[in-house]
Amino acid sequence: MADIRPFCMPKWGIEMTEGTIAEWMVKEGEAFTKGQLLCLIETAKITNEVEAEYDAVVRRILVGEGEDAQAVGTLLAVFADPAATDEEVQAFIDGFRPVETKVAAQAASSAPVTAPADVAPAAAPAKRKIETNRPISPEALKLAEEHGVDLDDVEGTGRNGRITYQDVDQVRRPASQPRLRGLAALVEETAAVFASPLARRLAALHGIDLGGVAGTGPRGRICKADVLALVPEPASGAAAFGAPFVPVDNRPEVVPFDKIRKVVARRLTQAKQELPHFYLRLSARADALMELRKTANLVLGCKASINDYVVKAVAIALVRNPDVNVQVHGEDVHRFPHADIAIAVASPKGLVTPIVRQADRMRIDQLAGETRRLIDKANAGNLSFEDMDGGTFSVSNLGMFGIEQFDAIINPPQAAILAVGAATRQPVEAADGGVAFENRIAFTLSVDHRAIDGAVGARFMETLKTLIEEPEGLFA
C-alpha cells in the first residue's frame, strides 16, 4: 500500500490561528530528504522555516505561494513515495478531513450568516398630500409629498422664489455644518445681467463679474454651469493671498489592516477590555546613570544604550519583586525565577515584541548585544517563533521620539508592562535653597490587578527607581 501523508498548516503557539505560504523550497515531483527545508510560512508576526521530518516526494501542492492565509490544519500539500499513483493521491485528497480543532470550530462559527428573510425593511416616510399657495414646480411638489417635506422649511431659489426640485431635495438630506465665508455681495439683477439666483450667488462667492458673461440658458440667461466654467481650477497647494477658498478633493486612501495590525488590534483590544488595568507613575534622576554609562561602555567595549541599562534595571527589579514577574493563565498565576523581558520594537512589519531571555543574568554588554540582534532581526522581518514566544514582562520605550510620558497596554498573558519616557532636563530645589537642574526619566507601570496588587507594584517601582538613581547596583 502506498505511503501517502498530508502536510497541513502547523500551529506554533496558542495565539496562532492561520498562516500564509511565503515560499515553497520544493516543487511538485521533487524528492526531499529528512531535514531539508520545505517551505517558509508567515504567521502574524514571524516567518518560520519548515523542515522535512522524513524522506518522500512532493506529489501535490494545494496552496501556492502568497495565496490567502490558511487556517491551522488546512491541507497544504501531499507527500508520498514514488510508487503511489496519481489516482491514489487524488483519492487521498478527496477523502482528507482536517482534524477537528478549536480553530476550525471558530472559523466555522465566523462564517457569513445569511440575514433572516423575515427582517422588515426600514419604513419609508409616509406620503401625504400638500396644499400650498407658494410657487413650486410639479416635480418639487411630488418629491415633497413622497418624503413628507414641510415646505415651510424650504427656501425657493427659482425665479421669484419658486421652489425647485433641488430645493426640496436639499432639505430632505441630513443637515450639514455650514461653511461660513463671510459676506458676499450679490450682483444686482439688471438688464445687462440676466442670471439665475444661484448663478449670482456663485459669482459673488468666487468674485466673478457677470457683466461680460454670455449665458447659455433660455434667452441667454446665465446659469450655474456658466459661472462654474469660469471658476479657476483649485491649486494643489495653499490658495494665493486674497484668493477665495476653494475646497479640493479630500477622499481618503483606504488601507486595510495587514495581518500584523489585525493581530495587534485584536490582542490589545482584548487586553484593554478584559484586564483590569491600573497605573503607577514616578520619575527618577538619570544623571548618575548617564555618567556611569559612558565609563561602563568604555570599559566593556560596547555601545549599550540608556534603554539597555533600563532593561537591566527592570530585570533586577523583577527578580527582587517576583510577584511582578508573572503571567496570568485563567485563574493561575505563573511566577518565574528569571526575567524574560519583551522589548517593544516598531519594525517595518508593525509592532513586535522579541524577548531578551534571562536579562537579569546578563552583563550589560551581553544584554546590549542581544537587544541589537533582536532589533536587527525585527527590522529584517526574520524574527522566529522562539524569538517571540513567552516573556514575563514588557518594556516599551518611546523616549527616543521625545515622548515624556505615556501609558502602555499590557501584553497578555503577562501581568505588567513598563512605559519609559524621554530623559528631560528639569529644575529642582538645590540643597542650599537655590535652583538646580537634573535629568529625569518618567516611568509608568501598567498592572493587571487580578494578579498584582498596588503595594506590590509600588515596591517594584521603588526598587527600579533606586537602581536608576544608584546605577552601581546594576553591576553588583
- State the catalytic residues: 449
DSSP 91-139: HHHHH------HHHHHHHHTS--PPPTTPPPPPPPPP------S-B-HH
CA neighbor of 454 nearest in space, from 312, 276, 320: 276
**What gap in Å lies between CA 175 and CA 251, rounded to an integer?**
20
**What gap in Å lies between CA 227 and CA 186, rounded to an integer?**
13
* Residue 317 host element (H or E): helix 306-320
Burial class (CB in 10 A: 0-12, 13-18, 19+), 320: middle
**What gap in Å lies between CA 283 and CA 303, rounded to an integer?**
25
Write the single-letter amino acid at 53. Answer: E
292 CB neighbour count, 10 Å cutoff: 17
Write the single-letter amino acid at 82. Answer: P
**What gap in Å lies between CA 321 and CA 305, rounded to an integer?**
24
Q: What is the 3-state secondary structure (H, E, C) of 161-199?
A: HCECHHHHHHHHCCCCCCCCCCCCCCCCCCCCCCECHHH
Q: Give the CA-trace dihedral at 72, 262, 270, 352, to 10 degrees.
A: 90
**What gap in Å lies between CA 88 and CA 392, rounded to an integer?**
49
Query: For the stretch 215-236, what's the b/e string if a residue is b when 16 or more beta carbons lie within 10 angstroms of its beta carbon?
Result: beeeeeebbbebbeeeeeeeee
Helices within 250-305 (DSSP H only): 259-274, 287-300
